[in-house]
Structure formats: C-alpha cells, structure tokens
Structure 1
Amino acid sequence: MARHDVLALVLAGGQGNRMEVLTQDRAKPALPFAGVYRLLDFPLSNLRHSGVEDVWMVVQYETQSIIEVLAGGRPWDLDRSHGGLRVLPPQQEADGEGGWHDGNADAIYAHRDAIAREEPETLLVMSSDHVYRLDHSELLAQHRASGAVATVVTTRVPVAQAGHHTVIDVDDDGRVTGLADKPEKPAHGVVATEVFAFDTAVVLEVLEELASEDRGLGDFPDRLLPALVERGTVREMRLQGYWKDVGRPETYFEAHHDVLVSRTRRRSTDLRLDDPAWPVLSRDVPRMPAFVEQSGRVIDSLISPACRVAGRVERSVLGPGTVVQEGAIVRDSVLLHDVTVRAGARVHHAIVDDGATIGAEAVVGSARIAGDLPTTEELTLIGARARISAGAKVPAGDRVDPGGRRRQAG
C-alpha cells in the first residue's frame, strides 16, 4: 500500500573522507557493493518494498555520481509525474542564506519550507551508506502507536565497535534517555542505525528553535536528538538481523566477507541480497555472463557479469567487467568494475577501484594480517583508473589515488 502521509529523506550528500581514495571522485553512497549493487540501492529498495513512494534524495558532494546511480528512480518505480523521486541539491538563496549543508540536521533545516509544503505526517530520514534490510511499515506502525515525536532505529554491535557510532541509552520501556556520539569508552553496544521516524511538525519546530540560537545545527546527535530526548518522547525500535555501517575501508571489506560467508553458512542474522520476497533493486546495465577459462580457478567468490577469469580467485568479489589473466592470483580482495589484473600479478587484502590496472608480476597488498580480517591500516586501496606498473610492489596499507600518487594509510 502506498503511504502518501510519509515523506522519506535519503541523505546522500556526505563526502565520505574515511573511505579515502575510494571516494575521491564519487559520493560514498554511489560505491559499488557485492559486485552488482550500489550502497544507495539498500535504502531505496527498503523504501520501495515498504510502500513508501515519496522519496527525496539530499545530495551535495560529487552529485553527478549519485544522479547516474539513480537513473531517474526507475529501478525502484519512483519515476512518476506525481510524488516519486526528487533530488535536493544545496540552495543558494537571493538573500545570501543557504549554501552547503553542514551536517544532516542542517540539511533538513535547509529544506524545511519544501518539507512543510508537503505536509507529511511522518518524516523518515536515513543515511545511505549502510547495508541492511528494514520494513519501514513496521517502523511507522510502532512510531505512531507509541506517540513518540521521534523513533530511532537501533541495533547492537560489539562494544569495541560502538565508539564509531552514536550510542543510545534506552530504559526498560524502550524510551531513549540519553546518547553519546562516538564515545571513546562506550558503556554498551546499542547504537543508532541512522534511520529515524520523526513527527514532521515537531521536528521542524525544534529545528527552528535551535537555529534561532545562532549556533550550527550539525548532525542529529549534536543538538537535535538531545533536544528531543529532553522532551522525553523519543523511543527506539531495535532492528533484528544484519546491519553494517560500511563507511570505513575495514567495514566495507568486512561486509563483503559477510556476503561470501553467508553463501555457505546461512545464519538468522545474514543479509540475503537475493531474497525473492525482498530483493535489492539496482540499476541494471546488461552485460554478458562471466567467463572462466580452462586455466581459471574460482573458490568461494562472487564473479559478476562480463568478468573473464584465467587466473586464480579466492574468497574475493569481482565487479562487472573485471579481468584476471592467466597466472594472476586474487585472494581476499574486493575488485570493483572493469579492473584488470595482468598475468602473474598478486593481489591480497586489497580494495581496487573501477578501471584500475595491476601490471604483470606486480604485488599489491600482503597475505599476512594480524587477525581474521584486515584492519583499515592493513588494507591496500587502489584508486579508480590507477595504473600499477609491471613488477611493482604496493605494500600492505598503501594507498594509490586515481592520479597514481602513493602514500601510506593515515
């Protein structure tokens, strides 16, 4: 059922500095995932399957990379004359107000007049760099039944990882009593997934009040959420199942590893990308099926359309059009679109961006890491269209940007 009393705002304007060379020329939500998807596909697919048809995309950094992924909203049936998909860039107003958004709360405030004109009862707001599945109809039902002015979707992560997120304190009745944004020593692992349901009128009113104090609004945890928590009407909805913030190289790699593992060891918390009842929808660019030559060997890997494998690929993800020549070895790596790994090259624990070429007999990354999965500092990142010379060695932790410049992590 279509939900015309709901307006969804998908926040896709962040630069994604933590992804380093991988977001130098694209917005983070446009990053490929699992070969044939983009990060932006996850929130849009969740909204489509939940019957939410009014979706506004807030953009800012490398906007064209987002526009290309959106394809006018067609993959999610959002290309329509009334409602559907709308792209919101930053606005420079005649009086000099407006300009670049300084955080997600500021982004909502910048578009407050357009939101108010639509008069939605509920404002759904979500980030676009997470991998997860969420039925928004369940969120909306709980939000309205509770009478909350805001509902924060939460999940539980290991305490050691909670410091990368906004930690949410919740009482026994599900009421949010406090929060700490990226604390150095988190008390527990309940964190915000960056999906929120707001009472539209209330949140716009509170934003106006906060803006009148002549201080920046920043992100939700800076001022908006604390102000709403003080009113005592913020509640949580605990997300069951898989959720991953893939905003850092190590978590982006880890999420790909989780997809590979889930193909052989299905667990209740796994994310099924191919669930026929809830498929991840994406812009479909037809290509030929992958081709594995007689010399090719593929083990526990995802091989996308138009790939050609004559070498050895283990525990890796190859994006569309990627070529692994005879004698080359790719292990424990994520290669995006149209990467070429020439004969005899070795790629270990690396993320290689679109169109990059690894020269013959070159060595990228290291097979040795301290734990089961590589840290950001252990991963080697190769930027889009970079050229690694034949016989070159790119050590673990090095970065090669799209211009070919090399540096170490950090």
Structure 2
Amino acid sequence: MANSKEPRVLAIILGGGKGTRLYPLTKERSKPAVPFGGKYRIVDIPISNCINSGYRKIYLLTQFNSASLHHHITSSYNFDHFSKGFVEILAAEQTLEHSGWFEGTADAVRKNMVHFRSQNPTHYIILSGDQLYRMDLKAFMDSHIASGADITIATTAVNERDATGFGIMKIDNKQAITEFIEKPSVDVLKSGNWKIPANARGDLPAEKEYLASMGIYIFNAKTMEEMLDNEFTDFGKEIIPRAIKNKKVNSYIFDGYWEDIGTIRSFYNSTLDLTLDHPPFNFYDADAPIYTHMRNLPPPKVNGAPHIENSLLTEGCMIINAKSITKSVIGVRTIIREGSELDGVITMGADFYENEEAKADNKKEGRPNIGIGKNCKIAKAIIDKDAAIGDNCSINVSGKVYPDGENKLDNGVSFYSSEGIIVIRKGAVIPSGTVI
C-alpha cells in the first residue's frame, strides 16, 4: 500500500520562448524539440530526469512551433494505465479568463493552474526544457522536505566571470537564501559578500565561489498558489526575489555537470563533448538512462571508412567508403558517401530514407539525394535534418570568415553562421561543387 505521506509531485517543464539564440535550429521547432546527441531531443533530458526519479506526472508548457514537439512526445512517452503517469503538452490557449500568449515563466504556470490543480499535488517541481544535466530529483525533493522550506532553488557553483551572466544567490550557514541579484557586475560581487560560505562548499572547485540559479525550483503547492496570486510574469526576475523576502527559500547545491544549451555555440560544444573519452555528460549510464522515441531502425552500417575517430554513429546511418570522420556526431539515417571528410560536424540525420523513385526524380531535377555526397569536406558545422548536400562540396574549410547571421552565396545557397560555426538549414539543398 502506498505511503500516504509520500509527496504528490507534479513536474512542469518550461518550453521556453521563441528560441532566438538557437536560431535557425528553432526556425521550425521549439527549443525542447531540437535534436541532440544524434538520436535524442533536448526535452528528453528533463523528462528522463523525472522518470528516473519516480516522477511520472509531467506537463510540458510551450507556445512556439509546438507541432514537432507534440509529435515527439506522443510517439515517445506512453505509460501503462496502472501507473497513472503521463507526459502532456500544454500550449498557450485562449480561455474565458485569458486570451494572450504566455508572458513569462510564471505567467505560463499561472495560466495552467486549472489543469495542475486537478492532480491535487503537494509539491511542484519546475524544470527548464533546454538544459543538459542528470539530477536525482528525488534527492532534491527529500532535501526540500527535510529543510522545511516553502521553496527550494537548485543552484550550481560558478566562477567570477560566469557569475555576471546568472542570477546569484547569497546563502547563510544553513543554506537558506537571504538575497538574490540578477546578473551582477564583478564590482558588486566583490563588495557584497556573495561568496559561498565555507561550511557549504563541500568539494566544490576553489575557483567557483558563487551560487547561480539553475532555473529549477520546488514549490510547496500552497506556496505556489500564493506566489502566483498577482500579475508578476517571471520566476527568476520577480517571483523568486519576492519570495526570498516573505517565505523560507533554501538552496540545493548541485555539484554535477550542468550546461545551458540555449545558444548555437553551447549547443555545438555540448554535443561534440559527447565524443570525448570521458564525456562530462554520459549517455551510457545504466542507472539513469535517457529515454527517447523508439524508431526500430537498423544498426549503423559502415562500408569502408579508413578513419573514424571520437565520433558517435547512431542507428540507421550509412557510411559508404567515406575518407574520414573525426570528432563528429552522426544522426539517425544520415548517409555519408564516398571520399567525404567530416571534422567537428553534427548531422541531425533524416526523417526518412529516399526510395528509388525519389532518387530518380532528384536526378531528373539535378537535385542531390538527402545526405552528404561524394568527396565533400566539411568542418565545424551543424547540418540540420533532411539536408541534401551534393558531390565535391566544401563547407567551412576554405578559411573564409562569414559574419554572424544569414549569409547567401552567388548561386543562391543560403546558410547561417554563428561564431565560426556554419549551420545548414533543415531541408536545405546544397548543389554539387558549392564552397562555403
């Protein structure tokens, strides 16, 4: 028989806004739906953290480009009827009470409280949909309950340079949060005694002296209702600072790997870090697996490739006598043809294999087949889904530096550049011989 004192936890994953910092990967999909790690979506990370922690009542709040996300969720997460678990998307909607978009994180939760109350939770756990980390959320919840706090905020230690980009917490000797400041200057940090107290440091690295909010919260259900009984729209900027003055708010110091993958640069680096001998985020953890859509695809096929090093090859991909693949992540159904060289490349793969009829039509229209053609050289690039790259193409190996943003070649080919990383759009067609 279930313990009646066990907390009834409802998990809420925030899908984020328009995802402009991850553009063009978010041109046709929301941030949580962006493919990651060859076969996953970013949203699989927080959902898997919930499932592995025993929390199976999960709502995902979103309002931009939600079709791809909806398809992924419905095809990936189906619990049995006896567990009463679910992963359900709640998109912004018009009702008799409100007619606008979500105006912020707190506003998104407030506008969906009618759905949440029906689950009669004792606690809410608020998670972000675009972060890479593995956390035992039950340990987080146990710490919250043991502390007697109304709200607990997950925090991570950061160095002085990084602290200026986060919301920074000041805590006392019992890890109660006494003060909060949003993106402080270095001078403010040094003059305001914001460093982590010595007795709370544990084994934290010496250079990481400040506590940054991870945007992950636990609220007692009653406290959530009280804190949202207003018109404030954002947790980090408005609700949390107000709560610190009126409620017992504690810090839960997380000392594991955590990365906000909200920009092209962070997305690229975090993905390629997966190819390291000992990656900071390990998908090969039997005790805390990351779940995703089961595709029933065949295993990777390598028909000759003299040099494959520090790379991930996901199911359904075909390497047909490629010359070399180095520090790259090759997505599902990706086809790499004869003589091609990839170095530091992320391919998101394809949604389908082209049949012979489609290939014949491509040939008739002078269009390359989906995948990477023969004798291509590609470096420091992200190739989105269903892109068709012709033979003898050179991408990001000429040494030319392109301005950040949209770029267009004389032959009409368009691409996106971000800090030296070239992004080939979803469904893009790159004619044979193109040099980027």
TM-score (norm 1): 0.85
> Alignment partner of 1:273: what SS?
coil
Other-structure match for 2:117: 116
Other-structure match for 1:335: 347
In the alignment, residue 393 of structure 2 is paired with which amino acid?
A
Other-structure match for 2:220: 199
Q: Distance in 2 between matches of 1:25 and 1:62?
A: 6
* Partner residue of 1:243 out of 241, 258, 269: 258
Change (3 A) 1:168 1:73: farther
Q: Distance in 2 between matches of 1:158 and 1:380?
A: 30
In the alignment, residue 212 of structure 2 is paired with which amino acid?
V
In the alignment, residue 199 of structure 1 is paired with which amino acid?
N
Shift in Å at residue 384 of structure 1? 0.3
Q: Distance in 1 between matches of 2:296 and 2:175?
A: 46
Structure 1, 34-43 or 152-161: larger mean CA deviation: 152-161
Is the 2:215–2:236 contact (alpha carbons within 8 Å) kept by the matching residues of 1? no
Other-structure match for 1:302: 312
> Alignment partner of 2:219: what SS?
strand
Shift in Å at residue 252 of structure 1? 0.8
CA distances 1:351-393 after superposition (whole Å, capped 9, x unpaired): 11101122222222248799xxxx9411111110111222222
Is the 1:179–1:221 contact (alpha carbons within 8 Å) kept by the matching residues of 2? no
Q: CA RMSD in A?
A: 2.5
Q: Distance in 1 between matches of 2:168 and 2:418?
A: 22
CA distances 1:168-215 after superposition (whole Å, capped 9, x unpaired): 33333212223333445483552222211011211221211x32xxxx
* Partner residue of 1:265 out of 278, 281, 286: 278
Q: Distance in 2 between matches of 1:344 and 1:326?
A: 6
Change (3 A) 1:165 1:98: farther
In the alignment, residue 360 of structure 1 is paired with which amino acid?
D
Change (3 A) 1:349 1:189: farther
Is the 2:35–2:348 contact (alpha carbons within 8 Å) kept by the matching residues of 1? yes
Is the 1:334–1:351 contact (alpha carbons within 8 Å) kept by the matching residues of 2? yes
1:325 aligns with 2:337: yes
Identity score, percent: 25
* Partner residue of 1:380 out of 413, 418, 422: 422
* Partner residue of 1:286 out of 288, 296, 300: 296
> Alignment partner of 1:241: what SS?
coil
Is the 2:336–2:372 contact (alpha carbons within 8 Å) kept by the matching residues of 1? yes
Q: Distance in 2 between matches of 1:78 and 1:336?
A: 31
Other-structure match for 2:93: 91
> Alignment partner of 2:423: what SS?
strand
Shift in Å at residue 129 of structure 1? 0.8
1:223 aligns with 2:206: no
Residues 328-367 of structure 1: matches in 2 within 5 Å?
Answer: 328-338=340-350, 340-366=371-397
Change (3 A) 1:163 1:324: farther
Other-structure match for 2:269: 254
In the alignment, residue 173 of structure 1 is paired with which amino acid?
K
Change (3 A) 1:78 1:26: farther
Is the 1:345–1:363 contact (alpha carbons within 8 Å) kept by the matching residues of 2? yes
> Alignment partner of 2:240: what SS?
helix
Is the 2:156–2:255 contact (alpha carbons within 8 Å) kept by the matching residues of 1? yes
Change (3 A) 1:79 1:293: farther
> Alignment partner of 1:98: what SS?
coil
> Alignment partner of 2:275: what SS?
helix
* Number of matched pairs: 377
Shift in Å at residue 84 of structure 1? 2.4
CA distances 1:276-327 after superposition (whole Å, capped 9, x unpaired): 1111111111111111122453111001112112221100100011111112
Structure 1, 298-307 or 106-115: larger mean CA deviation: 106-115
* Partner residue of 2:8 out of 5, 9, 16: 5
Residues 84-163 of structure 1: matches in 2 within 5 Å?
Answer: 84-94=86-96, 97-163=98-164
Other-structure match for 1:32: 35
Larger radius of gyration: 2
In the alignment, residue 172 of structure 1 is paired with which amino acid?
N
Q: Distance in 1 between matches of 2:221 and 2:421?
A: 42
TM-score (norm 2): 0.80
Q: Distance in 1 between matches of 2:315 and 2:75?
A: 23
